[in-house]
Structure 1
Amino acid sequence: MMACSRSCSRILGVSLGISAQLAAGANLALFFPDWEVTYLKNGLIGKHAMRGAGLWGGGLMVFFAAILITLIGWRRGCFSNTGPCKSMLVSTLAGCLALLGAFVCFITSGVALKDGPFCMFDVPSSNETQASKHGYPFKGLNDRNYLYNRFLWDSVCIEPRRAVIWHVIFFSTLLSVSIIQILLVLAQLINSFLGLFCGFFEKREI
């Protein structure tokens, strides 16, 4: 049973590490709409992307926790001769760290999808002409949710040209990855508790 618990830790640790890299990559892509550097240089990136929850939350925090969980599973480094109590404690702390990072990424991505992308769009001016400004054209529009109205994707944002689809794809990726991370962390927490009980049981058998 202990060997099974360690095997699960290896699998879950590697899975969390891969998901952390996906989250970081998705957040990095949001800095470069249409793969253009100009918007980042001019400070024309949305606040949700600039918060970098996919980098430091779903990325760095989860990746660090994944390393610890994987080391526990392989019993490497300072975890080579640790008992079940210490392993469970470290695994639980690492899981809580990853859970916090994934949860922050989940909340940020959900709010970003609700508010819509940051882009240049037309607004009516006082002299009945069109003026353009940067902002969130879909924010607060409860009567027409842009996520379900594909016509708005190409008709509202002027620049970046594919601002809406870029925003939807990568924040949806962050949202999905963070959900997967939360599920993996919960599985690891259950696995660590099972490993602790199995360790005590094996000691009593001896």
Structure 2
Amino acid sequence: MCTGKCSHCIAITLYPLVLLSILCNIILFFPGWDVKYVREQHITPEVTYLGGLLGGGFVVLIPALYIHFTEEGRCCGNRFGMFLSIIVAAVGVLGAAYSFAVAILGLTHGPLCKVEGDKWMRPFLKSNSTSLSNYASWDVCKEPKTVVQFNTGLFFTLIVASGLQGALCAIQMINGLVGCLCGICSKKEET
């Protein structure tokens, strides 16, 4: 199998995952689909760490673009190009790991919400059970409505997307090593 074809598949698969990560992080800024929470700074701190926007977004976009351009004509350009793809893919793994870690924190710490008495707090932050496993306690958050489900869904999506990004970048590192050691593939000449 040509390492260029593998690079092409990886790059094409990374693009929608990058877009998904960026969109999830942007949407997390608008719990309850309202801008007032951003203006009033009632946003979960993990959202402001920009794990999906920076880590799973722009940092992973760099290897996606490089990997895509490396596979010119579905064949690897040269051994040095494949060596560089290993380094760039490693950067992608780091970006995906950052996004994954921030999303895990956001998921386990739970959302910032208004509880009884108009007090803003993170009711699941210091509890023994996570917000995911204790469905009955989700209505402790009075505002924004359904913020627990909102954050849980988006952070879980970021976990899945960043996990896939990290796996694809790791595969590209192996693919780049194979391309580096075995050389480029040759195009079949039509006779």
Aligned residue among 45, 48, 54 for 1:47: 45
Aligned residue among 137, 141, 147 for 1:152: 137
Higher Cα Rg: structure 1 or 2?
1
Question: Retained in 1: the 8 A contact 2:76–2:82?
Answer: no
Q: Deviations over 1:154-204 (max 9, x none)?
A: x210110111000100000001111111111111111111111221898xx
Instruction: Name the residue aligned to 1:107.
Output: 101
CA distance in structure 2 between the aligned counterparts of 1:29 and 1:15, rounded to whole angstroms: 22
Question: Retained in 1: the 8 A contact 2:83–2:177?
Answer: no
Aligned residue among 161, 173, 191 for 1:189: 173
Runs of 4+ residues over 3 Å off in structure 1: none
Aligned residue among 5, 29, 34 for 1:31: 29
- The aligned amino acid for 2:149 is I
CA distance in structure 2 between the aligned counterparts of 1:83 and 1:145, rounded to whole angstroms: 49
Higher share in strand: 1
Aligned residue among 117, 120, 132 for 2:118: 132
Q: Normalising by the residue count of structure 2, what TM-score does the alignment of the two structures yield? A: 0.91
- The aligned amino acid for 2:78 is G
Instruction: Name the residue aligned to 1:57.
Output: 55
Question: Retained in 1: the 8 A contact 2:70–2:82?
Answer: no
CA distance in structure 2 between the aligned counterparts of 1:162 and 1:57, rounded to whole angstroms: 27
The offset of 1:89, in angstroms, is 2.3
CA RMSD after TM alignment: 2.0
Q: Deviations over 1:130-157 (max 9, x none)?
A: x221121111101x3321121222x210
The number of equivalent residue pairs is 186
Unaligned runs of 5+ residues in structure 2 are: 187-191
Q: Normalising by the residue count of structure 1, what TM-score does the alignment of the two structures yield? A: 0.84
Q: Deviations over 1:75-124 (max 9, x none)?
A: 69xxx99421x1122201210111111000111111111111111112xx
Identical residues among aligned pairs (%):
31
Unaligned runs of 5+ residues in structure 1 are: 123-130
Question: Retained in 2: the 8 A contact 1:33–1:39?
Answer: yes
